[in-house]
Amino acid sequence: TSAVMAAVCGRGLLAPLGGRLRVGPRAPLRSVAAAAAAPLYDVVVSGGGMVGSAMAAVLGHDIHFHDKKIALLEAGPRKEYDRMPDSYSNRVSSISPGSATLLSSFGAWDHVCSLRLKPFRRMQVWDACSEAMIVFEKDDLDDMGYIVENDVIMSALTKQLDAVADRVEVFYGSRAVGYTWPLPSHSCDTSPWVQIELADGRRLQTKLLIGADGHNSVVRKEAEIKNIEHRYDQSAVVATLHLSEATDNNVAWQRFLPTGPIALLPLSDTASSLVWSTSHEHASELLTMDEESFVDSINSAFWSNVNHSDFIDTAGAMFRSAISLLKPSGTAVRQLPPSIAKVDPESRAMFPLGMGHATEYVQHRVALIGDAAHRIHPLAGQGVNLGFGDIACLTHHLSAAAFNGSDLGSLKHLLKFETERQRHNVSLIAATDVLKRLYSTRLTPLVLLRTWGLQATNALPPVKVRI
Amino acid sequence: QLSLFRLTMKRLFSTSHSSVDSKEMKKFQLLAHKWWDEEGEYSALHSMNDIRVPFIRDTLLNMSSNYHLGNPLSGLKILDVGCGGGLLSEPLGRLGASVTGIDPLEDNIRTADQHKSFDPVLAKRIQYKSSSLEEIVEECMETFDVIVASEVVEHVADLEMFIKCCSQVLKPEGSLFITTINKTQLSYVLGIVVAEKIIGIVPEGTHEWEKFVPPEQLEHLLESNGFSVKTVNGMLYNPLWGSWSWMESTSINYAMHAVKSGAREQSSPTDALSELESEQHPATAGTAT
């Protein structure tokens, strides 16, 4: 993984920018006159998912972008709800407090709160092969995070985009089919802007193109940015579950099975969302089996100790008593997750998992954010939070650039964004990858290693806080 | 070559003394097309925007009570003297100002015009003119709110006349921003030997140490021509990162902000005195002047 880390990091500070500037046009250049007819935007965001929409909304609410023109391109239809349907959607995200802060900075969090969300105060993570576990909770009993349906977030973002409709133009049902990149700045007889061609033939020009079009990003491919990717031999099964009995339900549960982690994320006092990463075959089985067997599999996955071995249990117990001698408060009692009574019909679905990281996040007049730049395993619950982190960082740099009268597409400030975010994202993606591999085995030495590691981490406050 | 000849002819036949130095113009002629290559010969000027634009912007915002952070320089008329390819005119235009950029070299103006033409907002806000400062004085008396003369005064032939012309086209209480290079041993070593000959971040021959201007001399010239110097800040270029920063010492590069006095144009000290007397005793008859 260190080789992966070395390979995924972008260029160093002293490397010349020249390598990022395109050498020649990739598509036949239209005449300047024809190009000049297409409307010119300051920023175009390609991709109207949670990250793309939030990016456009944040810029639209930024005071230094007051007089700028922004466009958002989304292939799908407009999504807005005044009231949520009674049943929960099976696609949910774990929103960190940092992401909630970003969303409230432009008024979207209020809408989320008025629709629905579930705060959680504790996170319990434990192993199937041993007694080892780690519990995360904030000292002051503050919320650790929030489980929110993706549809709720989208609805909130749509409302806030409407609020700045004079600055942000949203093109629904529009997909970009071609991009034409400008030549490097010193040859000045052709248009210096990025040309975008939509599926319906319309054309736009922009000073900065932000690619937020997901892990199969077209922007990234067309910009010829190398992507390091790896398909995991796992799929994630999602479903909406109903608990046997109502409870406070403010704990997020995750158990590492040898086949992959299973997580239960609270939605309400009586419902939780399932995210079960497992082999492709097992995932298909789970989808096709009848509802009763499905519920039994889930309960058994959380409660059964079939994977324990005496050796590991003894070794784990020894380590635990050693820790309790040194640090009496360092061992916590393992709680049991709530048992599941039934699953919402039609709520079962699966999707394949993978990991990816773009070697560059930026080029002249182009920036990638969200899954277009990095794709991560859901076991850390970080996917969309990384995207929101990208938005906070990029907005900071673009806002400063706008207040300095700079050309928004200039690599100078885009590279600052790239360096900051790669530094943050690479370590998290690599760590998640390591965790995924470490927990995918029954081999005794590795189980022992991770058992002791988990127990030690649970006992050490400084390490836990950093996580 | 034809444009250079024409300008030289203008100089011979002009009735007034010019601040434009033709030797200087020849040096810039060769690089007229290189202005907008951020990594090329003018990269240090591109990165200087990172400190000179905020300096100009914040100074002007602090002097004003009515502004919008989305359009901070809106409503201001700015003259960019020696604008070159428009490196400083464009950011000022983006911040909302109406900018007039002048440069004696036609090729520079051509480059600047072409570069702004692709952005409809800038194309409207910025006007470029191939001209020296003296040539626009007559038609632009007290026209501008702000003049910026960045990296220019070390190239002019007659600095005092340059400053007098600035005063004439500037409105009363208007601001003048100058960035230039000090005349010290350090500026010779770093500004010429290292910058031009060793590292090559400035094209060789661009600067002549003899023409560098110490801040004391500049301040004196400004104060004796109706300006009040408000700020002097040292600037430092770091060639490793290619970035500029502020520093205490003005021994190499520095920036200056001066404000033109608010009183009307005065032709002689005795007239000024008599004006003052008559203002103080308007009702008293028979006051001798």
Residue by residue, pLDDT tens for chain A (467 residues) are 444 444 444 443 334 444 565 444 444 444 455 545 799 999 999 999 999 999 999 999 999 999 999 999 999 998 877 788 889 999 999 999 999 999 999 999 999 999 999 999 888 888 877 777 777 776 666 788 999 999 999 999 999 999 999 999 999 999 999 999 998 665 567 889 999 999 999 999 999 999 999 999 999 999 999 999 999 999 999 999 999 999 888 999 999 888 889 999 999 999 999 999 999 999 999 999 999 999 999 999 998 877 777 777 777 777 777 777 776 665 566 778 899 999 998 899 999 999 999 999 999 999 999 999 999 888 878 889 999 999 999 999 999 999 999 999 999 999 999 999 999 888 888 888 888 887 777 777 777 777 777 777 776 665 555 55
Helix (H) or strand (E) holding A435: helix A411-438
Classify strands A251-257 and A122-127 as parallel, antiparallel or unpaired: parallel
B71 contacts A66? CB cut-off 8 A:
yes
Q: HEC profile for A32-73?
A: HHHHHHCCEEEEEEECCCHHHHHHHHHHHCCHHHCCCCEEEE
Are A46 and A171 in contact, with CB atoms under 8 Å apart?
no
In terms of residue numbers, what domain contains B111? Answer: 22-260
If one counts every other C-beta atom within 10 angstroms of the C-beta of residue A103, the result is: 28
Per DSSP, A431 falls in state H
pLDDT by residue (tens digit) across B24-38?
A: 777 777 777 789 888
Per DSSP, A282 falls in state H
Query: Is residue B98 in a domain?
Result: yes
Please enumerate in sequence order all residues whose Cβ is within 8 A of that of A346, keeping only pairs 6 or more positions apart, or say none: none
Are A49 and A212 in contact, with CB atoms under 8 Å apart?
yes
B69 contacts A188? CB cut-off 8 A:
no
**Closest alpha carbon to A372 in A49, A41, A35:** A49
Query: Is residue B179 in a domain?
Result: yes
In angstroms, rounded to a whole number, what is the distance separating the alpha carbons of residues A369 and A227?
13
In angstroms, rounded to a whole number, what is the distance separating the alpha carbons of residues A69 and B153?
38
In angstroms, rounded to a whole number, what is the distance separating the alpha carbons of residues A42 and A51?
19
pLDDT by residue (tens digit) across B249-282?
A: 999 999 999 999 986 554 444 444 444 454 454 4
Query: Is residue B205 in a domain?
Result: yes
pLDDT by residue (tens digit) across B96-128?
A: 999 999 999 999 999 999 999 999 999 999 999
Are A240 and A347 in contact, with CB atoms under 8 Å apart?
yes
Which of A167, A407, A408 is the best mutation test for B, with the most CBs of B within 10 A?
A: A407
**Closest alpha carbon to A194 in A235, A231, A222:** A222
**Closest alpha carbon to B102 in B114, B112, B115:** B112
Residue A328 pLDDT: 62
Residue B55 has pLDDT above 90, yes or no: yes
Residue B155 has pLDDT above 60, yes or no: yes
With tokens 């002007």, the residue in question is: B60
Could you write out the DSSP letters of every residue in chain B? -HHHHHHHHHHHH-SS--S--HHHHHHHHTTTT-TT-TTSTTHHHHHHHHHHHHHHHHHHHHH-SS--TTSTTTT-EEEEET-TTTTTHHHHHHTT-EEEEEES-HHHHHHHHHHHTT-HHHHHHEEEEE--HHHHHGGGTT-EEEEEEET-TTT-S-HHHHHHHHHHHEEEEEEEEEEEE--SHHIIIIIIIIIIIIS-SS-TTS--GGG---HHHHHHHHHTTTEEEEEEEEEEEETTTTEEEEES--SSEEEEEEEE-SSPP-S-HHHHHHHHHHHH-SS-TT---
Query: Is residue B284 in a domain?
Result: no
In angstroms, rounded to a whole number, what is the distance separating the alpha carbons of residues B8 and B137?
19
Chain-centroid distance of CA A247 in Å reads 29
With tokens 């394949």, the residue in question is: A352
In angstroms, rounded to a whole number, what is the distance separating the alpha carbons of residues A277 and A436?
10
The CATH architecture to which A40-80+90-465 belongs is 3-Layer(bba) Sandwich (3.50)
Residue A97 pLDDT: 93
Which of B35, B38, B49, B57 is the best mutation test for A, with the most CBs of A within 10 A?
A: B38
What are the percentages of helix, strand and coil residues in chain A, rounded to 5?
40, 25, 35
Are B165 and B81 in contact, with CB atoms under 8 Å apart?
no
Residue B194 pLDDT: 86
Q: Is A66 on the interface with B (CB under 8 A)?
A: yes
Residue A133 pLDDT: 74
Are B86 and B99 in contact, with CB atoms under 8 Å apart?
no
**Rounded to the nearest 5°, which phi and psi values hold at A92?**
-125, 160
Residue B13 pLDDT: 42
In angstroms, rounded to a whole number, what is the distance separating the alpha carbons of residues B111 and B33?
7
| Residue in chain B lying closest to A68 (CA) | B70
In angstroms, rounded to a whole number, what is the distance separating the alpha carbons of residues B159 and B149?
12
Classify strands A260-266 and A271-279 as parallel, antiparallel or unpaired: antiparallel
Gyration radius from chain A CA atoms: 24
**Rounded to the nearest 5°, which phi and psi values hold at B11?**
-65, -40
State the burial class of residue A420 (Cβ atoms within 10 Å of its Cβ: 0-12, 13-18, 19+): middle
A405 contacts B36? CB cut-off 8 A:
no
| Residue in chain B lying closest to A64 (CA) | B70
A-chain CB neighbours of B118 within 8 Å are 36, 191-193
The interface residues of chain B toward chain A in range 58-87, judged by CB-CB distance below 8 A, are 68-72
Query: Is residue B225 in a domain?
Result: yes
Total number of domains in chain B: 1
The ipTM, to two decimals, is 0.82
CA-to-CA dists, residue A397 to A25, A48, A153, A358, B220, angstroms: 28, 21, 25, 20, 40
Query: Is residue B266 in a domain?
Result: no
Query: Is residue B133 in a domain?
Result: yes
B-chain CB neighbours of A13 within 8 Å are 241
Are A117 and A109 in contact, with CB atoms under 8 Å apart?
no
Per DSSP, A197 falls in state E
Bridge partners, B235 (sequence order): B246, B253
Residue B6, Ramachandran bin (φ over 0: left; ψ between -120 and 50: alpha; else beta): alpha
Contacts 24+ apart (CB under 8 A), B232-238: B232/B256, B232/B257, B233/B55, B235/B48, B235/B51, B235/B179, B237/B44, B237/B48, B237/B195, B237/B201
A65 contacts B70? CB cut-off 8 A:
yes
The interface residues of chain B toward chain A in range 21-60, judged by CB-CB distance below 8 A, are 33-34, 36-40, 47, 49-50, 53-54, 57
In angstroms, rounded to a whole number, what is the distance separating the alpha carbons of residues A424 and A390?
10
Tell me the angle at which helices A97-105 and A50-60 cross, rounded to the nearest 10 degrees.
Answer: 40
**Closest alpha carbon to A366 in A400, A332, A409:** A409
Hey, where are the domains in chain A?
A: 40-80+90-465
Are B89 and B126 in contact, with CB atoms under 8 Å apart?
yes
| Residue in chain B lying closest to A410 (CA) | B38
Query: Is residue B114 in a domain?
Result: yes
A403 contacts B69? CB cut-off 8 A:
yes
Gyration radius from chain B CA atoms: 20
State the burial class of residue B20 (Cβ atoms within 10 Å of its Cβ: 0-12, 13-18, 19+): buried
Residue A332 pLDDT: 62
Residue B232 has pLDDT above 90, yes or no: yes
Write down the H helix ranges in A265-382: 280-288, 291-303, 310-326
Residue A2 pLDDT: 44
Helix (H) or strand (E) holding A455: helix A444-459
Please enumerate in sequence order all residues whose Cβ is within 8 A of that of B288, keeping only pairs 6 or more positions apart, or say none: none
State the burial class of residue B128 (Cβ atoms within 10 Å of its Cβ: 0-12, 13-18, 19+): buried
Helix (H) or strand (E) holding A329: none
How close B57 gets to chain A, by Cα (Å)? 8
Are A118 and A94 in contact, with CB atoms under 8 Å apart?
no
CATH (domain of B188): 3.40.50.150
**Rounded to the nearest 5°, which phi and psi values hold at A72?**
-125, 125
Per DSSP, A372 falls in state G
The interface residues of chain B toward chain A in range 209-268, judged by CB-CB distance below 8 A, are 240-241
